Chains A and B, each alone.
Chain A
Amino acid sequence: GEDVEQSLFLSVREGDSSVINCTYTDSSSTYLYWYKQEPGAGLQLLTYIFSNMDMKQDQRLTVLLNKKDKHLSLRIADTQTGDSAIYFCAESIGTGANNLFFGTGTRLTVIP
């Protein structure tokens, strides 16, 4: 079955880079995603990567995918206090379904 794991907490100082890691078990993942959830709000898609890519950069965000090790990471450059939130890694499997399988989330705390 699908199993997506993340570390629970991460604290960084404002201005530093944050790296949030995720491992998954299903090698047939089609897309991998990073979502952000702020208190009392729904999930917001930050970025995604297709499984045949190994890197994607979008402004302050860099996603790295190591398909051999089934490891996904999200790097946030110049982390700001507004980046404090819970970050979820998710995968979708196959080409015919849109179901997402989420990790447990990593709570990022940015210290001013």
Chain B
Amino acid sequence: EAGVVQSPRYKIIEKKQPVAFWCNPISGHNTLYWYLQNLGQGPELLIRYENEEAVDDSQLPKDRFSAERLKGVDSTLKIQPAELGDSAVYLCASSRGTSGVYNEQFFGPGTRLTVL
């Protein structure tokens, strides 16, 4: 079974440019998460999808960040315009269930963004 796939693995852009990250979750996983991991920190949730619905986007900076999961499968996270402080690793994770009992989250390798 393939794991969570993310692309690109690395991205270098100049500030004020737009950037997009793509995630393909594990087949059959209904819940998809985007996390931000700053250097030397643990991941922090940006947004959680259950199928195509964003059920928790309270930590997503909506002035410049947007996300979509149109068909309830793969997802795109966009930043426009990027700022220097956005340099970080963006992690995608997926889990089979949508609520209630424990559901293991499987993480992708992440996209390392550098904003110059």
A residues apposed to B, CB below 8 Å: 4, 8, 30-31, 35, 40-45, 48, 50, 88, 90, 92, 95-100, 102-105
Complexed CA–CA distance, A58 and B107 (Å): 21
Complexed CA–CA distance, A90 and B91 (Å): 15
For A45, list chain B residues within 8 Å (CB). 104-106
A99 touches B104 (CB 8 A): no
Contact A99/B101 with A42-B107, A42-B108 known, Cβ cut-off 8 Å: no
Contact A42/B110 with A4-B42, A99-B48, A102-B44 known, Cβ cut-off 8 Å: yes
For A90, list chain B residues within 8 Å (CB). 42
How many chain B residues touch A (CB < 8 A): the figure is: 28
| Shortest distance between the CB of A40 and any CB in chain B (Å) | 7
| Shortest distance between the CB of A39 and any CB in chain B (Å) | 11
| Shortest distance between the CB of B39 and any CB in chain A (Å) | 11
User: Can you list 23 pairs linking A and B with CB atoms under 8 Å apart?
Assistant: A35-B107, A42-B91, A42-B107, A42-B108, A42-B109, A42-B110, A43-B43, A43-B107, A44-B107, A45-B104, A45-B106, A96-B99, A97-B56, A97-B99, A98-B31, A98-B33, A98-B103, A99-B48, A100-B45, A100-B105, A104-B40, A104-B42, A105-B40
A98 touches B48 (CB 8 A): yes
B97 touches A98 (CB 8 A): yes
| Shortest distance between the CB of B104 and any CB in chain A (Å) | 6
List the A residue with the shortest CB-CB distance to B43.
Answer: A102
Complexed CA–CA distance, A92 and B102 (Å): 9
* 3 closest A-B pairs by CB: A102-B42, A42-B107, A43-B107
| Shortest distance between the CB of B112 and any CB in chain A (Å) | 8
| Shortest distance between the CB of B59 and any CB in chain A (Å) | 9
Chain A CB within 8 A of B82 CB: no
Identify A95's interface contact among B91, B101, B104, CB under 8 A: B101
